[in-house]
């Protein structure tokens, strides 16, 4: 049984990187076995890659609902528990309730959006990872796993496209 090897191919520009992705697919590497790492956001459309699922919008919505419930507690439940009569205003008046609900809803939404990034991206994570510093200098890296016997064919194909380097991916402390 052949061993699975993880390689990291580095490209100077987006076009050869996109060609390399197509080449890898032709060699039988599935999209799940590839990860593109870049110093700027490259969309799925640019890379021709399947859409990355993000839970952030759903978490934001959930946070908004939770925030609104807290707002309802503060603006509606609390005045019934500890009544404070203000002028001739109703105990639970419309306008002040809207203000409290708005602020708490937005707070809930934004905090959960922020935490959503942490959850979806597994932040913080200080374990060693496959990475090279040239990526933040604008290079595009493709991290992919292949069976050992395909290494020579794929390496020469990617070199032909213009890979700057193809090295075994090492986990290192960031």
Q: Could you tell me which stretch among 3-11, 74-82, 149-157, 161-169 binds other proteins (CB under 8 A)? A: 74-82
Window 16-45: residues binding other proteins (CB under 8 A): 35-44
The answer to whether 169 and 17 are in contact (CB under 8 A) is: no
Burial profile 17-27: b = 16 or more Cβ within 10 angstroms, e = fewer: bbbbbebbeee
| 172 binds other proteins, rule: CB under 8 A | no
C-alpha 16/C-alpha 55 separation (Å) is 31
Closest to other proteins by CB, 2 vs 89, is: 89
Looking only at residues 139 through 158 of this chain, which bind other proteins when binding is defined by CB under 8 A?
A: none
Give me the least distance between CB of 81 and other proteins, in Å please.
8
Of the candidate spans 1-9, 46-54, 152-160, 162-170, the one that interacts with other proteins by CB under 8 A turns out to be 46-54
3-class SS letters over 88-135: CCCCCCHHHHHHHHHHHHHHHHHHHHHHHHHHHHCCCCCCCEECCHHH
Residue 50, C-beta contacts closer than 8 angstroms, at least 6 positions apart: 31, 44
Task: Give the binding site for other proteins (CB under 8 A).
Answer: 35-44, 46-47, 49, 52, 54, 56-57, 60, 74-75, 78-79, 81-82, 84, 86, 89, 93, 96-97, 99-100, 102-104, 106-107, 109-111, 113-114, 116-118, 120-127, 129, 131, 133, 135-138, 174
């Amino acid at each position: 049984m052949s061993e699975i090897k993880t390689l990291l191919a580095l490209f100077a520009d987006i076009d050869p990187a996109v060609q390399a992705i197509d080449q890898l697919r032709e060699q039988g590497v599935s999209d799940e076995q590839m990860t593109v790492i870049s110093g700027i956001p490259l969309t799925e459309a640019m890379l021709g890659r399947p859409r990355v699922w993000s839970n952030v919008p759903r978490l934001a919505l959930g946070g908004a609902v939770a925030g609104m419930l807290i707002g309802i507690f503060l603006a509606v439940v609390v005045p019934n528990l500890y009544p404070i009569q203000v002028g001739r205003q109703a105990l639970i008046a419309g306008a002040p309730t809207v203000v409290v609900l708005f602020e708490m809803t937005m707070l809930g939404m934004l905090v959960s959006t922020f935490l959503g990034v942490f959850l979806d991206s597994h932040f913080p994570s200080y374990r060693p990872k496959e990475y090279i510093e040239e990526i933040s200098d604008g290079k595009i890296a493709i991290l992919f796993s292949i069976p050992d016997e395909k290494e020579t064919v794929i390496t020469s194909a990617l070199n032909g496209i213009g890979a700057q380097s193809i090295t075994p991916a090492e986990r290192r402390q960031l």
